[in-house]
Amino acid sequence: MDKILVHGGKKLSGTVNISGSKNSALPILAATLLTKEECVIHHVPDLSDVHYMLQILDHLGAQVERASGTVTVKAEKVTTDAPYEIVRKMRASVCVLGPLLGREREATVSMPGGCVIGDRPIDLHLKGFEALGAAVRVVGGDVKVLAPQLKGAVIPMTGKFGSTVLGTDNVMMAAVLAEGTTVIDGAAEEPEVVDLANFLNKMGAKVEGAGTRRIIIEGVKELHGAEHEVIPDRIEAGTFMVAAAICGTEVRLRRVQPEHLGSVAQALERAGFRIETTKTTVTVTGNGDPTSLELTTETYPGFPTDMQAQMCALLSRAKGISTVTENIFPQRFMHVSELKRMGANITLENNTAIINGVNALSGAPVMASDLRASAALVLAGLRAEGVTEVNRVYHIDRGYEKIDDKLRQLGANIQRLEGL
């Protein structure tokens, strides 16, 4: 297992290129199963989650080729069974259910378990499939969906914690090949849902309203091949914005869509940092320590849960008391105990972290627990005194393309120790 060593205290400056979005690439790759024809996807990030998705497509019978950031998939024939051994590594594997159901009218995919950020049900995905006419059974740990006929329906998709991103994606991918009109009410509005809808429309689907709470899908008989470029990763971008804020002088992010970064930019501005944007760049200027904030995670366009851990790292050094409330995954605070090992003063009250800013963090050996929590520990390490050793780096590699190389380019003193 690799480790990352961060020697804190270096100022960051310069320019960093942001990769393609993981959370767009995964469902878009799954959507290539909807056609027999070739699909070409550009700007696909080189991440372990993407490798798992390509393995699943390969297992299902698709021909998959990858040349740097471009992936070509041709799923002339597909099987419909994705077993535990290949789907267990990644929860997002569940998004092959929708396209297989749409195309083959059946699918068996191992049920995703909970994960360290909490219980992660898929009840809303399954209710959506049922509304389209599918019979859904959970047998031996597998979800089996079967629908001799798929018929458009009005589908409410909102649960206790708001809308569901992959649930919206899954139902949309099944509904594009259903008979008649489907209306998804309470759809997730995230940019990744819009990116998937744009790709489906290039394939010949008729999807309207993606990016709003109501998506309307007119079913078509079949889809064809298409070419698409994945949007920039707004969470990777947000993470580099926080890196710049934590220890920056001036850092410029290139290849981003600033309109996707509004809530993160606003939070950083409120904390006292200067943010400047052009059409495809964002520049963050560090201006000493942050001021304290009250922050709450929400569905898009609110502040993203996937940026919560990184903000906790930043606010650990703020002047005054901050509160960070997690409304999407209430148990997503695994990073808190590790940040405390580095000297942060944080207490948890239900789903709120109360962060009393300290003057200094100190480097320590820490354990990465999930993707974004690991990023938060690297960020804290950049500002800490001494050396931070982040273990279980495979969590970071699921969602950040060469994070250590990119930070090094900006001047960080960071090393990866392989295979320890």
**Contact positions toward ligand UD1, by CB under 6 A?**
23, 26, 92, 120-125, 159-161, 164-167, 188, 192, 305-306, 328-329
The alpha carbon dihedral of 23, 28, 33, 38 has a sign of: negative
The alpha carbon dihedral of 275, 259, 32, 99 has a sign of: positive
State the minimum distance, in angstroms, from the CB of residue 178 to ligand UD1.
Answer: 19
Q: Please report how many Cα atoms fall inside a 13 Å half-sphere around the Cα of residue 260, on the Cβ side.
A: 24
95 catalytic? Reply is: no
The alpha carbon dihedral of 260, 263, 269, 272 has a sign of: negative
Strands 38-42 and 227-229, how do they pair? parallel
Q: Which is nearer to ligand UD1, 272 or 330 (CB)?
A: 330
Helix (H, G, I), strand (E, B) or coil at 107: strand
Q: For residues 414 and 408, what is the distance between their CA atoms, to the nearest angstrom?
A: 6
Distance of CA 98 to the CA centre of its chain: 19
State the minimum distance, in angstroms, from the CB of residue 108 to ligand UD1.
Answer: 18
Q: For residues 410 and 203, what is the distance between their CA atoms, to the nearest angstrom?
A: 39
Q: Which is nearer to ligand UD1, 188 or 410 (CB)?
A: 188
**Beta carbons of 216 and 223 less than 8 angstroms apart:** no
Question: 152-188 burial string, b = 16+ CB within 10 Å, else e?
Answer: bbebebbeeebbbbbbbbbbbbbbbbbeeebbbebbb
State the minimum distance, in angstroms, from the CB of residue 173 to ligand UD1.
Answer: 13
User: What 8-state DSSP symbol labels residue 362?
Assistant: B
Ranges of beta strands (E only) in 43-86 are 63-67, 70-74, 81-82
Q: Which is nearer to ligand UD1, 160 or 221 (CB)?
A: 160
Q: Which is nearer to ligand UD1, 12 or 377 (CB)?
A: 377
State the minimum distance, in angstroms, from the CB of residue 84 to ligand UD1.
Answer: 18
**Residue given tokens 């993203």 in the structure block:** 304
Q: Which is nearer to ligand UD1, 39 or 90 (CB)?
A: 90
State the minimum distance, in angstroms, from the CB of residue 309 to ligand UD1.
Answer: 11
Q: Looking at 39, 95, 115, 247, which residue is catalytic?
A: 115
Q: For residues 68 and 362, what is the distance between their CA atoms, to the nearest angstrom?
A: 38
State the minimum distance, in angstroms, from the CB of residue 285 to ligand UD1.
Answer: 28
Q: Which is nearer to ligand UD1, 190 or 229 (CB)?
A: 190
Catalytic residues: 115
